[in-house]
Chains A and B, each alone.
Chain A
Amino acid sequence: MSKKRVWAVLFLATTLLLSACSKGESGAATENATGENNESAGSGLKPAKLKIVLYGDESARMKELAKTEFKDIVKKEINAEVEFQFIPWTEYGGGKTDLMLSTGEDFATYTDTNYMVKSVAKGLYADLTPYMDSAAADMKKTVDEHSFKAFQLGGKQYAVPVGNKPNSGEFYSVLVRQDLLEEVGMSGVSSLTELEQFYEKALAAHPELVGYASTDARRLLMYEYTDKNLYWQNDFLALDESAQDDKIISWFESEEFKAYTQIMRSWYERAIIPKYAATNTPQLQSDWNSGKAMFWAGTAARPFEGAATISQAVPDAKLTNYFLSKDLPKISRGTYSTAWFVSASAADPERYVMFFNLLQKNQELYDLFAYGIQDKDYTVDENGRLTRLTTDALIPDWLMMNKNFMRFDKSVPDDFIEQYKAWDDEAVISKGAGFNFDNTPVKNEETKMGGVFSEFLAPIASGFLDYDENFPRALEKLKAAGFDKYIAEYQKQFSEWYAAK
């Protein structure tokens, strides 16, 4: 009898709870709706609701600001209720983002050109062209013009670039632990030989360190194995920026690739790339962050961005960028960090564009979104140097980064800032910038090639496997996956686009 009672009670409790849950939900929804209607717009715009999806962890301070200052300023400026939703990085460019797009949710988040091309083909992004002149007027002054072009397809703007920072020669420099370099009595690195010398000397002093904390060095080593100025379109294809033509180079079939693998093979054999890299790639990044590696691929900003991370483990770490051997013009894809898209089912895409515009509108707003409230989250001294009072990230730094507004902290030397700002001065915009490959005709081939790449080609490229022994078979697999058809299609589209340009 008592058991029966227990079950009956349990059943009742469950039913009650279920109904309570659903009621709670609908109740809240109606409240919101009426609340919204009551608020009349002060700025002439109709009230709107915006949902901004960001990837990564939401810091405690961001949570607070999202409910207070950020919300208020957005309300005041463009009369919109903004809501920030944070989801894990694994959902970027697929996963939940895809689900949200396909089910017609009203939101905006950031994208890269690859994901944009795929999604636009499925009709998932809103066309933002009509709003660019009016709603994005301010940011057009602070964000480079080329960046806008990179996110156009068929003349239509599908994503709005954000950020404006020196981006050229990304990963083409060697980012060296200058503190270690000086410790072993060297002052700089200007060639592969010197880099390897540095490795040997530093290893002798610190046997626990590893050399290179990545499995891909094709860019930074380029100056050693070729005279061309290669710029990669993806894992398979490259352009020679020093030639004035529209020829697509098949990277794996080139002589350059062979020469490159030989360096990588020797690095792997000499343990400059640690042995565990073949099976545990994520460990490399952890090693770098914890100061256990000697050099890495550099970007203009990495010396100060990276130092902040490493200094948690090695407080006096210093980082410097070096280009090996040759002085070739640095190639740039544009100065944007990323770009915002708006889902095709958004009720008010224009308001989203207005919000993006706010982020890069002026110093005041930039400071607020990137650093928070002055004297509460950060202080600025008379030289304009920033001291952050909280370590909590707000709208991610890397995303906002605009050289017109960004602030440096006191630890960054003046000459470095000058160098940083001048980094792009002699850079050349890639001749492929703005070209977006439509992969629909070769979708299957692309998928198969992706498999061949990770299974057969990447281990050769990283030096884990010997080129002579393994490459013929890998190439055979690549051809069988339909690579010839793929490159022909790519070349065709690129030539057409290039000629039109």
Chain B
Amino acid sequence: MANQENRTLIVIFYLCIGVFALICLAPFVLAVSGSLSTEAKLAAEGYSFLPRSITLDTYKFMFDSKAEQIIQAYVVSVAVTVIGTASAVLVTTAYAYVITAKGFRYRNFFAFLAYFTMLFSGGTLPWYILSTKYYHLDDTLAGLFVPYLLNVFLMYLQANYFKSIPHEVIESAQIDGAGHFRIFFRIMLPLGQVGLVTISLFYALQFWNDFYLSLMLISDERLYTIQYMMYFMMANIQYLASGNSAQIGGAVVAPPLETAKMAMTCLTVLPIAILYPFLQRYFVRGIIVGSVKG
């Protein structure tokens, strides 16, 4: 009886999840099918779930005209994601360790310092001046990840993992003569592994999806990321369609083709879509483990 009930419940849940998943999937399917349709068909009949008269023309067109740029942008995006994630995780965990280290007198002050930036920020202009005039991050690869090296929220997340490690472990290491460096690398990081994976994934996603740093700091197109190329394209069409362009003498600029937009979307989403199923379990596990232990 109970078994029967459970089964019904499970079926219902699966149905709900299934429907929800379909809703989430729909736009993506539309984008893929749009990118595989011909422009004329798309204009005449609109979007559909199955491509109308399948063609790879759009991709061919994009790779013909922009192949070099797209590949270059991919390389930059991958480099930024890998280097950025590695450095960000290092900086974040180190900071988290410092503010959780029991023997460190000023840890509360540093914790507050980080927390303060969550509540108040200097605003875009000072940030821009600092990045360009003092740190000279404009038009450098470093400019694409250095500003994001410390995400305070993720730092606190990691700090909580560290806090959940029994202090006795650290104490005994100290008695055995281990310094902070050794404790950090040999005890805290291995024990806080789950948290490490979680924040790495968050960082990786953030770096992959970011276009803001490129927009602000990059003018050399060799350093464009794939997301920025995408943003560039979308921003142009949105602006031109908004009617603001009337202010500048009714500029009529041919917008990018619908199919090209869709193809570009697929190109940016694809790597993440392929990787995600393999990585997603770490997200869930990371968050659940933290909640039980904490």
Contacts and interface: CB of A to CB of B under 8 A. Distances in A.
B243 interface: yes
A10 B231 contact: no
A299 B132 contact: no
A56 B249 contact: no
A89 B247 contact: no
Nearest to A90: B235
Contacts of A399: 249, 251
A371 to B, nearest CB: 16
A88 interface: yes
B240 to A, nearest CB: 6
Nearest to B220: A85
B173 interface: no
Interface of B is mostly: helix
Contact of A313 (B40, B185, B235): B40
A88 B258 contact: no
Contact of A89 (B133, B239, B249): B239
Contacts of B124: 99
Interface string A50-72: 00000111101001000000000
Contact of A305 (B136, B241, B252, B255): B252
A285 B136 contact: no
Interface in B157-213: 185-186, 189-190
Given A88-B232, A90-B238, A216-B243, A285 B255 contact: yes
B39 A167 contact: no
B128 to A, nearest CB: 5
A313 B237 CA distance: 17
B252 A306 contact: yes
A85 B237 contact: no
B121 interface: no
B142 A18 contact: yes
Given A90-B238, A281-B242, A313 B140 contact: no
Interface stretch (A133-141, A287-295, A357-365, A481-489): A287-295
B125 A99 contact: yes
Contacts of A338: 248-249, 251
Interface of A: 3-4, 7, 10-11, 13-14, 17-18, 21-22, 24-26, 55-58, 60, 63, 85, 87-93, 96, 99, 102-103, 110, 112, 114, 163, 167, 170-171, 208, 214, 216, 281-282, 284-286, 289-292, 299, 301-302, 305-306, 308-309, 312-313, 336-338, 393, 396, 398-399
20 contacts: A10-B90, A13-B86, A17-B83, A21-B142, A22-B140, A56-B236, A58-B221, A60-B65, A88-B215, A112-B248, A216-B243, A285-B255, A286-B237, A286-B258, A289-B254, A291-B43, A306-B252, A312-B257, A338-B251, A398-B253
